[in-house]
Amino acid sequence: MSNPQPASASSYRGLRAISALMLREMSSTYGNSIMGYFWALAEPVGGVAILTFVFSLALRAPGLGDSFALFYASGFLPFSAFMDLSRKTATSIRFSKSLLYYPRVTFVDALIARVVLNSLTQLMIGAIFLACILPFSRTHIFLNAPVLFWSYVMAISLAVGVGTINCYLFWRFPAWERIWSVITRPLFIGSAIFFTFESVPEAVKGYLWLNPLVHVVGQARDGIYVLYEPSYISQSYVFGISAFLGVLGMLLLWGNSKEILNG
């Protein structure tokens, strides 16, 4: 009978490495006080506040309900979670490269540590934000927590897929990081954050549907607005893209891991 101890010991060492990487990032990114997490929360608050102020001056009512803040938060929060997590996943090896020379720390540990820590952070930010804003909304809300949570699962899976392939591309083609920063800027407009998918012209819907973030935002609003029924959402489309990019990125990173470490 084979001895299971080596496998369990290896798993234990992996968990220790991931925990250490998470603690290191918490200290370096958010500092040793609660103020670090306060600034992480301030970014989406500021984004929603700007959208609310600008569009409340130009429009009589938001796309759904009667609360501008809630409408824009329902789109901006999952979008912001995707952008933040995909960026941090893409730079995870660079962030922890000095530790990857230790034999017990692998690039997979670096990826997992960043994904877990920043996913939990984004979930916490979303929960706190909505908990603060929902009591002041006059819209009839029946919060469907599982549906809303699933929108974050979709956003996180997409961010991990995009971030993993970009982790390789940023290393292989350094100019791609700047190019990616430029080409993703229109996503803020084309992800149905300040309008609903149903409100756009039919000629545009086919192109807009191809953006997986539109499905993520629709899923989030489905979990907040009881009367909203977005029939266009395709979870399989989002998870399919996420899996394809994630697997491809991991294969490329695995095949070039020694070169990446020594480069």
Min mean pLDDT across 35-44, 191-200, 208-217 is at 35-44
Dump the DSSP string for 150-205: HHHHHHHHHHHHHHHHHHHHHHH-THHHHHHHHHTTTHHHHTSSSS-GGGS-HHHH
CB contact at 8 A, 17 and 112: no
pLDDT for position 243: 98
Structure tokens at 226: 């009881």
Query: Which residues make beta-bridge pairs with 141?
Result: 225
Report d(CA 31, CA 23) in Å as an integer: 10
Residue 11 has pLDDT above 70, yes or no: no
pLDDT for position 10: 59
Min mean pLDDT across 60-74, 103-117, 144-158, 237-251 is at 60-74
Between these two residues, 219 and 56, which has the higher pLDDT value?
219
CB contact at 8 A, 197 and 64: no
Half-sphere exposure of 203 (CA within 13 A, CB side): 0
Mean pLDDT of 17-27: 83
Q: pLDDT-derived band of residue 246, with 50, 70 and 90 as boundaries? A: very high
